[in-house]
């Protein structure tokens, strides 16, 4: 692959998923991140407050549109239609991305690996999608993926699923995927010579979900990112560099809070067994290989594994997979069972939320809220519209009363959705938004017998991410103040001398000269397309993002 010594790149936005000062500063102090350390030390840098909810699928669209989820319409990894769901994709984002606004001003962009950008829209430049895209995603222009694979030898969105957790090979794949992002960006910058570039790294988040507490793996990932950012700066020589993350990351308390168990105890949630409700993933993803034919056992007459049929019958008389799991755990046999019992078997015996019979429930933990089963809105709503306000007020009071095993409040805030969202898509949000105190408690929508129990993850997302800016026109002495995720897009546009959209919720940060906002063409409203990609669902389950009410 040939690269030129520099390009016409004026502004480079580097996205580092989950980056925050508590993670980055010790690595900088140890001399492991000379490039990122220089950006933070010599530029204007500080915490960047994320939105609610501070998770990848909603936060990155907020960052690249400058709008809150109530305007752009993505609140979670999942989009819901009644009780049905689908993994979100770029057609669910109902605001224009900053590279689309730049194209309207005659500027070209190259965008690599940014989450929730598949399928891409047409604009002046190039885009290779990132997280929640299929393994071989559509690109803009078409054929770009094949071009990258010819030039680079390989380009993947995800590591192979058969890589063993905790292995050296897993770390090698973190590094390899990171290297692919940098190499792809340099190649496309050479080919398209853009004024704006957006390069995102996802493995800085993945490593904490898959290998929490593994300092070696974290160092390896961040050092690989540092190397690739340095190589991009050398090759492209951008005038201005802005670094931003979608949220932070850090340790969580040892006990998780099972919201639907708490709501069941309070009389809001009804349950069912077998089919129906949300799919069972988080406790099962270690055994997804059985779905691919490596195991699974005999089948009953309907094509269902016989073991699944038997467990479903047991569930019908109250012997659910959760109860079986507690017995196996007590005997030290849980890991063995997960290796030999198929996913369908566990799903068949799993007790889950009966949406149609419940008053309110958590649909998805990363939605960070509770949904009321409203008559006329949900397919089988049980709450009359005239009772909505009273039910919501009572529900808020119940959730505010939740306490940890130590007696502390679980939530720092329990509020109506209007507190956090505004715009034409507010109706798609959960009715009540819950904010864990300090983001120290892992929330789950799963039913596991008790409201509290051992947490599924020891590290997860925190509210404060990271922002840094350096280069031409950047005031490195400027105080960031209460820098917010929504401020990134208007800051990028102002750095390029382009007016931010007057639809944006953020403001240009004082590190650049603010350009007054302007009106742009409205988003062309088109029906959202289905993702329906089992492989994407499995990867989200592997990282603990999808769980089982």
The pLDDT tens digits for 261-284 are: 999 999 999 998 755 555 433 433
Question: Residue 221: what pLDDT?
Answer: 98
> How large is the average pLDDT for residues 40-63?
97
pLDDT surpasses 60 at 217: yes
pLDDT surpasses 80 at 259: yes
Domains in the chain, CATH or no CATH each: 11-252+460-542 (3.40.720.10), 281-349 (no CATH), 367-456 (no CATH)
- Taking only the tens place, the pLDDT of each residue in 303-315 is 444 444 444 444 4
Q: Is 409 left (phi over 0), alpha (psi -120 to 50) or beta?
A: beta
- Whole-angstrom distance, CA of residue 14 vs CA of residue 229: 8
By residue count, the chain amounts to 549
Question: Residue 417: what pLDDT?
Answer: 98
Q: Which residues contact 331 (CB under 8 A, 6 or more apart)?
A: none
- Whole-angstrom distance, CA of residue 132 vs CA of residue 544: 14
- Whole-angstrom distance, CA of residue 80 vs CA of residue 84: 6
**Average pLDDT, rounded, for the chain:** 87
What are the tokens at 22? 């508590």
Q: What is the band of 347 on the pLDDT scale with cuts at 50, 70, 90?
A: very low
- Whole-angstrom distance, CA of residue 272 vs CA of residue 222: 44
Q: What is the band of 86 on the pLDDT scale with cuts at 50, 70, 90?
A: confident
């Amino acid at each position: 692959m040939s690269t030129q010594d520099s390009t016409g790149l004026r502004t480079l936005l580097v996205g580092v998923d989950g980056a925050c000062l508590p993670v980055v500063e010790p690595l900088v102090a140890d001399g492991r991140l000379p490039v990122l350390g220089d950006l933070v030390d010599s530029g204007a840098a500080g915490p960047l407050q994320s939105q609610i909810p501070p998770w990848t699928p909603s936060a990155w669209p907020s960052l690249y549109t400058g709008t809150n989820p109530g305007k752009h319409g993505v609140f979670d990894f999942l989009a819901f239609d009644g009780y049905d769901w689908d993994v979100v994709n770029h057609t669910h984002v109902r605001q224009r991305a900053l590279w689309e606004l730049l194209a309207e001003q005659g500027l070209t962009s190259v965008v690599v690996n940014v989450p929730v950008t598949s399928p891409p829209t047409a604009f002046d430049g190039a885009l290779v999608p990132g997280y929640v895209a299929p393994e071989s995603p559509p690109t803009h222009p078409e054929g770009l993926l094949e071009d990258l694979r010819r030039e680079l030898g390989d380009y993947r969105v995800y590591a192979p699923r058969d890589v063993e957790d905790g292995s050296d090979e897993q770390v090698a794949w973190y590094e390899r995927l990171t290297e692919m992002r940098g190499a792809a960006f340099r190649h496309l910058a050479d080919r398209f010579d853009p004024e704006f570039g957006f390069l995102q790294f996802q493995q800085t988040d993945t490593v904490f979900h898959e290998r929490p507490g593994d300092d070696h793996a974290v160092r390896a990932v961040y050092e690989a990112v540092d190397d690739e950012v340095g190589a991009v700066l050398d090759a492209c020589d951008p005038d201005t560099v802005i670094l931003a993350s979608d949220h932070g990351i850090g340790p969580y308390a040892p006990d998780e809070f099972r919201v639907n168990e708490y709501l069941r105890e309070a009389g809001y949630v009804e349950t069912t067994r077998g089919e129906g409700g949300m799919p069972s993933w988080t406790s099962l993803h270690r055994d997804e290989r059985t779905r691919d034919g490596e195991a699974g056992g005999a089948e009953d007459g309907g094509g269902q594994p016989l073991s699944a049929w038997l467990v479903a019958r047991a569930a019908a008389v109250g012997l659910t997979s959760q109860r079986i799991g507690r017995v196996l755990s007590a005997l030290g046999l849980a890991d063995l069972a997960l290796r030999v019992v198929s996913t369908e078997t566990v799903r068949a015996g799993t007790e889950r939320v009966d949406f149609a019979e419940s008053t309110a429930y958590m649909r998805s933990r990363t939605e960070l809220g509770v949904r009321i089963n409203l008559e006329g809105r949900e397919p089988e709503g049980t709450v009359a519209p005239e009772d909505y306000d009273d039910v919501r007020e009572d529900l808020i009071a119940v959730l505010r009363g939740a306490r940890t095993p130590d007696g502390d409040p679980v939530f720092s805030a329990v509020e109506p959705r209007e507190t956090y969202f505004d715009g034409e898509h507010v109706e798609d949000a959960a009715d009540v938004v819950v904010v864990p105190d300090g983001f120290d408690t892992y929330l789950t929508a799963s039913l596991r017998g008790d409201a509290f129990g051992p947490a599924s993850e020891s590290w997860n997302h925190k509210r404060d991410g990271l922002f840094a800016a350096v280069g031409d026109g950047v005031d490195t002495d400027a105080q960031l103040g209460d820098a917010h995720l929504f401020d990134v897009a208007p800051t990028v546009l102002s750095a390029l001398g382009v007016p931010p959209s007057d639809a944006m919720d953020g403001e240009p940060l004082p590190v650049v000269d603010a350009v007054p906002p302007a009106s742009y063409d409205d988003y062309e409203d088109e029906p959202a397309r289905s993702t329906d990609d089992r492989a994407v669902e499995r990867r989200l389950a592997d990282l603990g993002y999808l769980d089982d009410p």
